[in-house]
A and B are shown apart, each in its own frame.
Chain A
Amino acid sequence: MTSPLFEIDALQVAVEDKQIVNGLSLTLQPGEVHAIMGPNGSGKSTLANSLMGHPRYTITGGDIRLQGDSITEMAPDERARAGLFLAFQYPTDIPGVSMINFLRRAISARRGEEIPVREYRQLLNEVLGRLQMDEQFVRRYVNDGFSGGEKKRAEILQLGLLQPLVAVMDETDSGLDIDALRIVSEGINTFHSDDNAILLITHYQRILRYVQPDHVHVLIDGRIVESGDASLAERLERDGYEPFMERTKAEVLSS
């Protein structure tokens, strides 16, 4: 049997000696979309950053596997080249570095060889067009002075250019107006294929109207407390996180 595309196996993550993710397991098969939904502070970004190998987040237990191989010990750039992608909740600005230069380096790194100028230009224009972004956009410095919406679009632009195997999207929907949300969602859907998988991390259910999840997981205090199909998201929308949090508290008390 071939191994799953992406496995998070009993993952534990600490930040500054504080345990945030507490034994989280998840398996993504090719072609799947999983949504992780959780309230503020439940550990969504901690999970996302640790998957990508952020040095400030220490993995204290468990394993992360991409196509059956552990990537837990890999540096972020190795993970990226292996096909993992993180769309940042708060993308960092890098003044003086133009998008067009940065993106070319990133694509070349991912491919393991320099992308020819002509092919690069073609690819760039195609993906920019799809996201209804102006060609001049890539002349700007990376995330520098971008509006919230522009930052999110720039992340989707990178998703489309880099063609990862697994995309972790950290609250890509937050702060977007309805039109931007639609465009960003279309970007994700266009990227999505039978060969890749998406882990959509979100606070709200609204993006799930555009990007259909196969599985929905509820994250409370760094644990998945419930998993289900798309209807779970609707339940959350209706009842909020409160019932799950109550339950978690009760479980912790009784254990």
Chain B
Amino acid sequence: MTTPATEAPVTPRSEYEFGFHDDVEALVKLPKGLSREVVNTISDIKEEPDWMRKFRLKALDHFNARPMPEWGGELGDIDFNDIHYYVRATDRDESSWEDVPDYIKDTYDKLGIPEAEKQGLLAGVGAQYDSEVVYHNIREDLEEKGVLFLGTDQALREYPELVREYFTTVIPPNDNKFAALNTAVWSGGSFIYVPPGVTVDIPLQAYFRINSEDMGQFERTLIIADEGSQVHYVEGCTAPIYSSDSLHSAVVEIVCKAGSNVRYTTIQNWSNNVYNLVTKRATAYQDAVMTWVDGNLGSKLTMKYPAVYLMEPGAHGEVLSIASAGQGQQLDAGAKIVHAAPNTTSVITSKSLSMDGGRSSYRGLLKVYDGADGCRSNVRCDALMLDEHSRSDTYPVMEIDEKRVDIGHEATVSKVGDEQLFYLMARGLSEAEATKMIVNGFVEPIIKSLPLEYAVEMNRLIELQMDGAIG
């Protein structure tokens, strides 16, 4: 049963523009709570192969056995029995926009999703609404070249062997409590396969929307970039403002085969009642390049540390991360790079902002295995606070077991400087305008690595958040 939410959110974020919700009955909505029965029902609904059901049930045992992490953020408030683990709004996966129900179409229209595809800015679009993918489409010429871009459920139906070959090979079900949870109840997500030597020239984008109250979204994304291929995938996320919390716990696995180049860009703008606990990891083989661009604005609590495991010589991993925490938010974001082979290189650049009492942290791990000589890595994390009552921390951890490496590290925590403000104000800029300019400058190194439309969007979202914070 769908109960429309009251207007009063727990955490006000007046400037949040996507806080509306569609007030409709879901087609299928499992009762709240997590059990073997729920997991079996999800598997039944999806008519999955048996191996997947076994995976799920084993993962559920892992989830139940693991304690809650005691670091990162306040997880104690999550009541796993107060969550709907599967909510399906519509009948089936659609590849024609016309067939998507009108109210969902309206939602995506408001979010500007089909527009970008029409304008030819994207090579493909996917849209997930609550638990299921409601739309996906890919440019014909890419389809002809063998590029696959579809919902992970559909991929499991149409390419079961391909999915089985890679599923959980990057992130095992017992990796951490939330990866286990995702493996048990996963639904939706994107599946991408790019054949050897194929370049997807403009981004593929997926859009994740939570609509129902008290629900958990557990999408599962798997990207396989075959040898010498190239792809850029972009995901965006929003949710309505409800008076109770939602859970988003995704798993994203990426395999970058020799010589491939994968870029994964996230613009996370959940409403401030979403727990966003995501495991993202890529393996990069010989001379492959993997880049995570991670923009985090919304959510009540985010814990997310995109990882790259550099498995063979010449692989390069890069994480560019922005987190901007406002009132009532805690963003614990960062990066993890593992140098498991010689002559691998990595760069981590992180910028965290906090304002209006918000809290953001950088948490990073750089690991170099013994024998991985000739590695180079550069880590730079900067934190900027806009006022006295906000908080920023950095927790950079390095485990270097090899001597012949070149590691650079720099971390700063600062407040918007009086001297910088005075300088800009002495040139006629108002305090608000001056603050925005300083903040824009602070995040510039990351923004400039985004494609133009996303750079504009990211700047806009940060400014919107600042409008709420500095008035």
Contacts and interface: CB of A to CB of B under 8 A. Distances in A.
B428 A81 contact: yes
Interface residues of B, number: 24
B61 interface: no
B428 A110 contact: yes
Given A92-B423, A94-B423, A106 B429 contact: yes
Nearest to B430: A77
Contact of A75 (B431, B433, B443): B431
B437 A102 contact: yes
A247 interface: no
B423 A91 contact: yes
Given A80-B427, A80-B428, A55 B441 contact: no
Contacts of A80: 425-428
A114 to B, nearest CB: 13
Interface stretch (B164-172, B190-198, B267-275, B414-422): B414-422
B426 to A, nearest CB: 5
B31 interface: no
B365 interface: no
Contact of B440 (A56, A76, A81, A96): A96
Contact of A52 (B420, B426, B442, B444): B426
B49 interface: no
A207 to B, nearest CB: 21
B424 interface: yes
A115 interface: no
A92 B429 contact: no
B423 A77 contact: no
B438 interface: yes
A77 to B, nearest CB: 4
A190 B48 CA distance: 80
A141 B438 CA distance: 11
Contacts of B438: 94, 97
Contacts of B422: 52, 54-55, 76, 92
A104 B437 CA distance: 12
Nearest to B444: A96
A97 B423 contact: no
B160 interface: no
Nearest to A87: B426
Given A81-B428, A105-B429, A88 B442 contact: no
A219 interface: no
A109 B423 contact: no
A94 B441 contact: yes
A76 B441 CA distance: 21
Contact of A94 (B418, B431, B433, B437): B437
Nearest to A76: B425
B445 interface: yes
Nearest to A106: B427
A93 to B, nearest CB: 8
Nearest to A158: B427
A95 interface: yes
A88 B426 CA distance: 10
A184 interface: no
B471 to A, nearest CB: 15
Contacts of B429: 77, 105-106, 109
B418 A86 contact: no
Nearest to A79: B426
A96 B436 CA distance: 12
Interface string A57-85: 00000000000000000011101110001
A102 B424 contact: yes
A109 B440 contact: no
Central interface residue in B417, B437, B443, by most chain A CB within 10 Å = B437
Contact of B424 (A55, A94, A141, A162): A94
10 contacts: A54-B422, A76-B422, A79-B426, A80-B426, A88-B426, A96-B440, A96-B442, A96-B443, A96-B444, A105-B427
Interface of A: 52-56, 75-77, 79-81, 85-86, 88, 91-92, 94-97, 101-102, 105-106, 109-110, 141-142, 158, 162
Given A52-B426, A75-B425, A92-B422, 6 more contacts: A52-B422, A80-B426, A80-B427, A92-B419, A94-B438, A109-B428
Q: Which A-B residue pairs are the 5 nearest by beta carbons?
A: A96-B441, A109-B428, A96-B444, A97-B441, A80-B428
